[in-house]
Amino acid sequence: ADTPALAVHNIQVVYGGAIEAVRDVSLEVRAGQIVALLGSNGAGKSTVLKAVSGVLDAEDGEIDKGSIQLFGRAIEKDAAPEIVRQGMVQVPEGRRLFATLTVEDNLLAGAHLRSRSELAAAKEYVFKLFPRLVDKRSTVAGYLSGGEQQMVAIGRALMSAPKLLALDEPSLGLAPLVVAEIFNSIRQLRDQSGLTILLVEQNASRALAICDYAYIMENGRVVLDGTGEQLRRNADVREFYLGLS
């Protein structure tokens, strides 16, 4: 029962056989928790997320040291489709919707693993989480606001009934009010559905406010970790990541 949902042990990731983007990173995501991975641009957050999602190949990247377990099972050699089948689904940075398809068809695109009978319930669940999308179900995704597109991207990931949802910078480029809305929904997913969430963010103050635990990366390494509460009280975090003093 105490097996973490995701456990990363001392991984090193290299791009092009030479550039070490991630060094000796370890982290744990416990079931039912929101765990945040924070740090500035280029710190290595996205690379860690790509490593655990099995998509490094596409960028000539590889895990050359360390191990990753998803629900107790080694996945560091698995490709993305296998990892999705094991229950971890990623919402990529920049959302990557099908711009010419409707909201509803974008959601269905995430549902290929579900039986026909589960589809209606899955859609219902997404529209309940994001009521704004109800009136837009037939709207082409390219016409939506950035916030609505992010909602569709999260909704599409939820359609495959993940056990662990990994989000890459969901707040990127969104207005503060919309960010608040998205983060409320993320919290709701944990609180009401018990979903386990790995949240990669540059917006440290928002992420620390909703996460159970967080890791902060700099230059490819984890430099600090603790509960959201501990990190919000940490003097360095306050100065360098929250802009407080």
Residues that bind ligand ATP (CB under 6 A): 15-16, 19, 21, 39, 41-47, 59, 202
Closest residue by Cα to residue 75 from 200, 196, 164, 170: 164
Cα–Cα distance, 109 to 125 (Å, whole number)? 16
Cα–Cα distance, 30 to 194 (Å, whole number)? 11
Q: How far is the CB of 20 from ligand ATP (least distance, A)?
A: 8
Nearer to ligand ATP, 14 or 178 (CB): 14
Nearer to ligand ATP, 107 or 224 (CB): 224
Phi, psi at 191, each rounded to 5°: -70, -40
Q: Do the beta carbons of residue 133 and residue 127 sit within 8 Å?
A: yes
Nearer to ligand ATP, 15 or 71 (CB): 15
Q: How far is the CB of 178 from ligand ATP (least distance, A)?
A: 19
Tokens 């490709």 locate to 79
Nearer to ligand ATP, 43 or 178 (CB): 43
Q: How far is the CB of 38 from ligand ATP (least distance, A)?
A: 9
Q: How far is the CB of 224 from ligand ATP (least distance, A)?
A: 15
Q: How far is the CB of 61 from ligand ATP (least distance, A)?
A: 6
CA 37 to mean position of chain CA atoms: 9
Give me the amino acid identity at 9: H
- Count other Cβ atoms within 10 Å, centred on residue 72: 9
Nearer to ligand ATP, 17 or 72 (CB): 17
